[in-house]
Structure 1
Amino acid sequence: MLTKTRWAAFAVLLTAEAMNLLDATIVQVAGPVIHAHLPGPAADVPWFSAAYTLPFAVLLITGGRLGDVLGRAKVFKIGVTGFVLASLACAAAPEAGLLIGARVVQGAAAALIIPQTIGLIRVLFDGDELAKALGTIGPVMGLSAVSGPLLGGLLTQAVSWRAVFLVNVPLGLAVLLASRLLREDRAETRPKLDVVGTLLVVAGTGLLVYPLIQPGETPLLAVGAAILVVFAVHQRRTRAPLVEPSLFAHRGFPAALAGSLLFFAVMTGLMQVVPMQLQLGLGVDVRTAGLTLLPLSAGLAVSSWFAGTWLVPRFGARVMYAGLALLLAGLLGALGGYPWPLLGAMALCGLGMGTFTVPFFSTALHRVRPHETGSAAGLLNAVQQLGGTLGVALLGGLYLSSGAATAALGLAAVLTCAAAVAVTPMLSSRPAP
């Protein structure tokens, strides 16, 4: 395949990544406005976001394995089609219950799309080009996530909350039209789908995530954890595991999962707390709340480029620590007040996030072999979504219970320090033979 065509196909995959991850956060700022237009209980508001992230998280591992079995390009196209149709249903929803139902379908479709991208990228590139492409994934994921509240605020204020979902339609159609550039790819040895493992991981992850969103359901955490233990035992015994056991043969990948959980808890929780503090605590409008995150997005974009082109090639995975240090400084700086101290702190947080994500994702995926691709992509993305949900629940819940952002930002600082400890084993990871 010609170089220009390969990079065009890569752009299609990145657009799909951005579209899906944007949708995970774009409703955060628009939620109160949607609630005002689609009356119902106040408990509906967090579910406008959670109805997407919950099925997204619990089905990602299964989505990755389906790509191994049926072909990644095929599953990718099915997922994009479902995502576009579900987006139209969200935009046309006449009441809150139907909107929440359509969001569930959106999340399930996203779980089919995202795990396929890494495998399809591996078909397009090798050597230095592959490393460069994989290093781009993290910044795109991070920038898409932080741009969600900004775009959601602007569209809601300027047009309507329904535009928040309609923006997916032209993007999705463009991805579908350009998906003919993708080459089919599947595991060399076609694995069987582990149905029992699928049911166990969906039930266990769902029961682990649901109580984080729905107050009063804390006992389900223990049930979810127990089911995941059963899932782990089942994976060791079955001949066709949903998650490749070889991923855990080196401590680098488990460390990446722990680091992803903690980092995205901070990142997503911060994007929840700041707009809440501005709208509920300071009384600013939805557009201003969204624009306050603009320095964060700009900082992430600039530092991602700088880290990918200069820092990581020279200093390698150690750049992760510089990113976490900048993020910690930004979190502490956010305690200084509004507007200018907060805006400067958001820029510093963005610089830290971009500096961290480039070396993190390229290092996390360094050891992944072709037959592990579906499992690795699904598991890494599932943990990211779980981390985001955990961040919203912990940081957002702490803010609502305390009435001040100080406690939430302090907890975010502690989690950032924990992430620095968690990723340490990744420094010794080496490329797979």
Structure 2
Amino acid sequence: MELSMPPSEPNAAAQPIPSPTPSPDRSPDPSPKRSPDPSPAEAPTPHPYRWLVLAVVLLAEVMDLLDATITSVAAPAIAADLGGGPDVTQWLQAAYTLPFAVLLVTAGRLGDRFGRRRLFLLGAAGFTLASGLCALAPGPGWLIAARVLQGALGALLIPQGFGILKEVFPAAELPRALGLFGPVMGLCAVGGPVVGGVLTQADAFGAGWRLIFLVNVPLGLAAWAGAARWIPRDTPTAGQRLDLPGMLLVGAASAALVYPLVQGRELGWPVWSLVLAAAGPVGFWLFTRYQLRRPSPLVHPSLLRNRGYTSGILVAVAFFASFTGLMLVLSVFLQGPLGLSPQNAGLSIAPLALGIAITAGPAGALAQRRGRTVIQAGIVLTSVGLAVLGGTALWSGSSVDTWRLLPGTFVAGLGMGMVIPPLFDVILADVSTAEVGSASGVLNAVQQLANAIGVALLVTAYSAFTDHGRSPTTALAGTAALTVTLLAGALLLSFRLPERARPEA
């Protein structure tokens, strides 16, 4: 799930957005020999269907965002129906986000090489098909495999949209078009858990939880049809190189880190699982060394030497791991020990998303003046909310209910809303204009990887507490404390971020 606002240049392979202000004439000859500026009649005509193209791109974003939040609420019901323990609920999320993260940056270059329209159509059709396969799953293995396919095709689909919008919108209108992403993301964040709970409990036509995947079918078909009708054909860029070894290396490192976190507890933490978990960070280190030597790397080498940017990556990992992991832990707790229905669980999580929606708008504007201070205040407020949540769970014991948990979740959401909008723009502040495309694409991929790590780590921690005889409320409090520890690390690292957000953000 990508909750961050689109950065200044979201497409990893695209060039920077040209400024609408013409550059000054630097000719030493004062005589007017240069061609006159084109008259309004000679100016390029904007694409007639550009706003319909925007609607199609937003529809693709909605599918991606809803797919993440809906699944987090429905995961316990899916595991109960298909069989399996907490590892199944974790893989439902990780199986989507891992391939999405690994393929995201490369997919931007694929769009340049083979054409963005072509890959958008392929991604929309494939995502729709994969959603149907998820809905038809007879067992957990089928469903997890279909989720992997869904994540890979989502990574193919999503990066193409921003490049397409750059092609169809004039520079003066592009900020207005990109400004619509914020409200759409906010609505998905607030409405996703509720919609997931309602669809799962509705059990229309006896489909049960399968409706959360079937809802993507009409959306995907509409996105494909709209793209085929309104997105203009583009010319592929010859000579784009793909760093396949780099992609395989970062994929192996990601899997080595996440797999033992998910399966290690289930298997009794054998030695190989601990070795594999330790190999994950080593794999990422090898990836950075390899990128410094590649002639056409996935990541600009200068970014890996930028202290503010590399620190920002770690802040993003800690924060988004906390956010996504906590969402799933709350869903498991509400539908397990509290025995809530998926619909009521979704309504109980909604205050977290509502808090995000309330502070996200003001935080984005305030960060232009206060920069990283806004992020730091948001991390502190999120930690306070989680401390209240954990303390309430411990104090209430067996009498805990959703109303008692509401203040903690709401305050945590207010804090998260202060972090999400400005985070990427502050991280990108010291990145050169030529590097913004690559830097923002990597950040989006890191966010997806953090989602997988957070789900694997926090759900495993919650389950480990209950395995050792702790009550569910104590397990929830312990997991909240672990999340605060992650956020404390993010807070310390945030002092290495640039002080101000990117001016044009």
For residues 255-302 of structure 1, give each alpha carbon's deviation from its aligned partner in whole angstroms, at most 9, with x where no partner exists: 331221111111111101212222222222222111101112222223
Residue deviations 1:351-395 (CA, integer Å, cap 9, x gap): 222222111133345566776466334421221122122222222
> Deviation digits for residues 110-160 of structure 1, max 9, x if unmatched?
111233344445446687865666676577557645654432222111121
Q: Does 1:169 align with 2:217?
A: yes
The one-letter code sitting in structure 1 at the alignment partner of 2:275 is P
Contact 2:94 2:451 (C-alpha < 8 Å) held by counterparts: no
Contact 1:299–1:354 under 8 Å retained in 2: yes
CA contact 1:142–1:357 (8 Å) conserved in 2: no
Q: Is the 8 Å Cα contact of residues 139 and 300 (structure 1) preserved in structure 2?
A: no
If the length of structure 1 is used for normalisation, what is the TM-score? 0.86
1:312-343 deviation line (CA, Å, top 9, x unaligned): 45544532233223322221221324333321
How far apart are residue 414 of structure 1 and its match? 2.2
Contact 1:64 1:116 in 2 (8 A): yes
Cα distance in 2, alignment partners of residues 134 and 246 from structure 1: 28
Pairing 1:98–2:142 present? yes
1:420 lines up with 2:491 in the alignment: yes
The residue correspondences of 1:161-310 to structure 2 (distance < 5 A) are 161-179=209-227, 180-182=229-231, 190-215=239-264, 216=269, 217-248=273-304, 250-308=306-364, 310=365
Distance change >3 Å, CA 41–CA 409, structure 1 → 2: closer
Q: For residue 114 of structure 1, give the secondary structure of its aligned residue in structure 2.
A: helix
The corresponding residue for 1:331 is 386
CA distance in 1, matches of 2:72, 2:432: 36
Kept after mapping to 1: 8 A contact 2:120/2:156:
yes
Q: Does 1:48 align with 2:101?
A: no
Tell me by how many angstroms 1:87 deviates: 0.5
Percent identity of equivalent pairs: 45
Deviation at 1:100? 2.0
Residues 370 and 500, structure 2, Cα contact 8 Å, conserved in 1: no
Secondary structure, in 3 states, of the residue corresponding to 1:213? helix
1:225, CA displacement in angstroms? 3.0
The reply on whether 1:152 has 2:201 as its aligned counterpart is no
**Number of residues of Structure 1 aligned to a counterpart in Structure 2:** 431
Deviation at 1:166, TM superposition (A): 0.8
Verify: 1:57 aligned to 2:101, yes or no: yes
Letter in 2 for 1:402: F
Please tell me whether the aligned partners of residues 52 and 104 of structure 1 are also in contact (alpha carbons under 8 angstroms). Answer: yes
Using the TM superposition, give the Cα deviation of residue 108 of structure 1 relative to its aligned residue in structure 2, in angstroms.
Answer: 0.8
> 2:405 matched to which residue of 1?
342
Change (3 A) 1:251 1:30: same
Q: How does 1:106-121 map to 2 (within 5 A)?
A: 106-121=150-165
Structure 2 unpaired stretches of 5+: 1-44, 394-400, 467-474
Greater helix share, 1 or 2?
Answer: 1
One-letter amino acid of the counterpart of residue 334, structure 2: L
Partner of 2:41: none
Larger radius of gyration: 2
Cα distance in 1 for residues equivalent to 2:355 and 2:501? 28
* Matching residue's letter, 1:170: P
Tell me the CA shift for residue 400 of structure 1. Answer: 1.7
Q: What is the CA–CA distance in structure 2 between the aligned matches of 1:262 and 1:347, rounded to whole Å?
A: 20
Which residue matches 2:397? Answer: none
> Which one is further off, 180-189 or 29-38?
180-189
Instruction: Name the CA distance, whole Å, in 2 between partners of 1:143 and 1:222.
Output: 39
Q: Which residue of 1 aligns with 2:79?
A: 35
Decide whether the 8 Å contact of 2:131 with 2:216 is kept in 1: yes
User: In structure 2, what is the Cα distance between the partners aligned to 1:422 and 1:126?
Assistant: 38
Query: Mean alpha-carbon deviation: is it higher for 64-73 or for 390-399?
Result: 64-73
Q: TM-score, normalised by structure 2?
A: 0.75
User: Conserved in 1, the CA contact under 8 Å of 2:368 and 2:500?
Assistant: no
Aligned mates of 2:87, 2:114 — CA distance in 1: 39
Supply the RMSD in Å over aligned alpha carbons. 3.2
Compared with structure 1, are the counterparts of its residues 395 and 359 closer, same or farther at alpha carbon in structure 2 (3 Å cutoff)?
same
Deviation at 1:169, TM superposition (A): 1.4
Are 1:362 and 2:411 an aligned pair?
A: no
Comparing 121-130 with 397-406, which one deviates more in the overlay?
121-130
The question of whether the paired residues in 2 share the 8 Å contact of 1:255 and 1:426 is answered with no
Which residue does 2:114 correspond to in 1?
70
